[in-house]
Amino acid sequence: MTPASMSRRTLLGGALAGSALALAGCSGGTKTDATSSGSSSSGGVVGKSDLTVYAWTNGPAIDANFKKSVDLFNKEYSGKFTAKINFLPYDQYWQKIQLQYAANQPFDMYYWDVQAYAHYKKGLLQDLEPVVDGSDLTDSGKYPVDLFKPWRFDGKDLFALPENIQSMSFFYNKTHFDKAGISYPDATWTWDKVQEAAQELTQKSGGKVSRWGLDIGDLGVWWGLQTLAWAAGTAFFDKPLEPTQFKMTDPGVVGAMKFIQDLMWSKHIAPRPNERDANNQAGGFAGGVVSMMPGGTWNITSYKQMKDEWDMAPLPLYQGKSVMPYWLGGWVIPKGSKALSAADAFALWRATKFQDQMAADHDWIPVQNAARTSSQMLNGMPAGFKAAMAALPSAQIGDLYTANSQKILDQVFSPNLDNLFQNKKSPEDVASAIQQGATALL
C-alpha cells in the first residue's frame, strides 16, 4: 500500500493490529421499554434497554479498554441499561453498516468515521444536539467547543458526539540525538533545521543508508501534506464541510508538494517510496531505523514499546508557521436505533464521566480539557506531549466532508499523489490533475 492511499484508520490499525471479535447479530437482547422513534432527551426511555455498540477493532489493548468502559457503563446504569460491544475489521465495518441500513435494521450506535457523513446526507442520523444540550459539552471552558464545529453538519446541531481527539506531532529518537550530540527538536524548529539534523543523523554502511535521519511519515498522506499548505496560508479546498472549490493549483499548495518531493528525490534527505517500504519492514521509526518522523498521535501507544528513548514536539515551522490537524472520535446514532435512550446515554457518558478513565488508559486523548491536561494523562506520556497539545486551539480539521469524499480521495487524490511521491510527475502536473478530477466529482 502506497502512502497516499493510506487512511488515518489504516495507519492506526497497522500500528495496533489485533484480531477482530466475532459479530454477534444486529443488536443485543430482547427487552423493550418503548418504540424506537424520536429523541430520548425529552424524558422517558425510548427503545430497548439492551444496547449493542459497534466499533472497528483497534488491537488488543484499545479493544480491551473499550470493553472495560462498557463494563463500567453497565455498573453505573445497572437496572436501567445494559450494553455490550462488538468489533469488526475496518475493511468489513462500513459494508456491514450499509447492509444493516439496507435491511432497515441499523446498528444501535456505531463509531464515527468520515463515511458516516454520507449517512447524514441521506437523513439517517439522529440529531444529537438535544442530547448534549445542557451538558458540560456545551461549556467552552471545559471542552474545546469550537473544534466541534465541523460536526455541526447543518451549521448548528451536532450529528456525532465527540469523545476523543487526535492530532499530528513530530516524533524523534532521543537516543540517536544524544549520540550525535544534537539538541532536541522543539516549537522553534524549522524544516530547514530538520534537514540539517537529518543529514547529521543519517548513517550509511557499505554505501547504503542503514539509518535515515528523516522519514516524511504522515506528510505522505493527503491530510498530512495539507498541513504545509495551511502553514503557507492556503489549503487543498475552500472549506472542509461541503467544499465548493478545490485549490490544488494555488502556488502555496504546489510549493508544499514540491517540498515533499524534493526531500525524497532531488535532496534525497528522506527515503523514497521503495526505500520507505524496506524501512517499514525493518521497523521504521519504532524499530530505530529512522530518527525523525511527523506522525499521528495515535502512534504513541505503540511507540511506548520502543527500545530507544523517544519524544515528540510540535510540527516544525514551514514558511514561519506550524498548523497541526486534528480529528474527532466519537459516536453516531441512527434515527432507527432500537435502543435510542441507551445509545444516547452511552455516548454522553463516554464523553463526560468516562473522560478521566480514558486519560488513565492512554489509548485515546480525551476531548475534555481537564482530563486531557490531567496528571493521569500526562504521567507516562512523552515530555513533549503537553507542548504538542497546546497547539490544539489553532488546529484545523483534517477531514473532507462531502457525499463524494471517499471517491474523491480514493480515485483522484491517491493515484495522483502516488505519482508525486514516485517522482513520475511534477508537482504542477499532479496539482492540475487533482484539481480537474476532484472538481468533476463535487
Check whether 21 has a pLDDT greater than 70.
no
Which pLDDT does position 13 carry in this prediction?
43
pLDDT in tens, 241-276: 999 999 999 999 999 999 999 999 999 999 999 999
Q: Do 84 and 188 reside in the same domain of the chain?
A: no
Q: Do 322 and 431 reside in the same domain of the chain?
A: yes
pLDDT average, residue stretch 150-170: 97
pLDDT average, residue stretch 312-334: 97
Q: Do 213 and 284 reside in the same domain of the chain?
A: yes
Check whether 9 has a pLDDT greater than 90.
no
Check whether 29 has a pLDDT greater than 80.
no
pLDDT in tens, 404-432: 999 999 999 999 999 999 999 999 999 99
**Bridge partner list, 326:** 167, 397
pLDDT average, residue stretch 393-409: 94
Number of domain units in the chain: 2
Q: Do 229 and 309 reside in the same domain of the chain?
A: yes
Range of the domain at 307: 168-326+400-441
**Bridge partner list, 167:** 326
pTM of full prediction above 0.85 = yes
pLDDT average, residue stretch 150-166: 97
Cell numbers linked to 348: 454522553
Q: Do 342 and 318 reside in the same domain of the chain?
A: no
Which pLDDT does position 43 carry in this prediction?
61
pLDDT average, residue stretch 352-357: 97
Q: Do 290 and 332 reside in the same domain of the chain?
A: no
- What is the CATH number for 303? 3.40.190.10
Which pLDDT does position 44 carry in this prediction?
76
Q: Do 304 and 360 reside in the same domain of the chain?
A: no
Q: Do 12 and 161 reside in the same domain of the chain?
A: yes
Q: Do 205 and 93 reside in the same domain of the chain?
A: no
Report percent pLDDT > 90 for the chain: 84
Which pLDDT does position 39 carry in this prediction?
55
Strand pairing report for 325-332 and 396-397: parallel
Q: Do 302 and 404 reside in the same domain of the chain?
A: yes
Q: Do 162 and 308 reside in the same domain of the chain?
A: no
Model confidence at 17, pLDDT cuts 50, 70, 90, reads: very low
Model confidence at 45, pLDDT cuts 50, 70, 90, reads: confident
pLDDT average, residue stretch 332-356: 98
Which of 104-113, 200-209, 333-342 is predicted least confidently? 200-209
Q: Do 161 and 206 reside in the same domain of the chain?
A: no
pLDDT average, residue stretch 57-66: 90
pLDDT in tens, 194-226: 999 999 999 999 889 999 999 999 999 999 999
Model confidence at 42, pLDDT cuts 50, 70, 90, reads: low
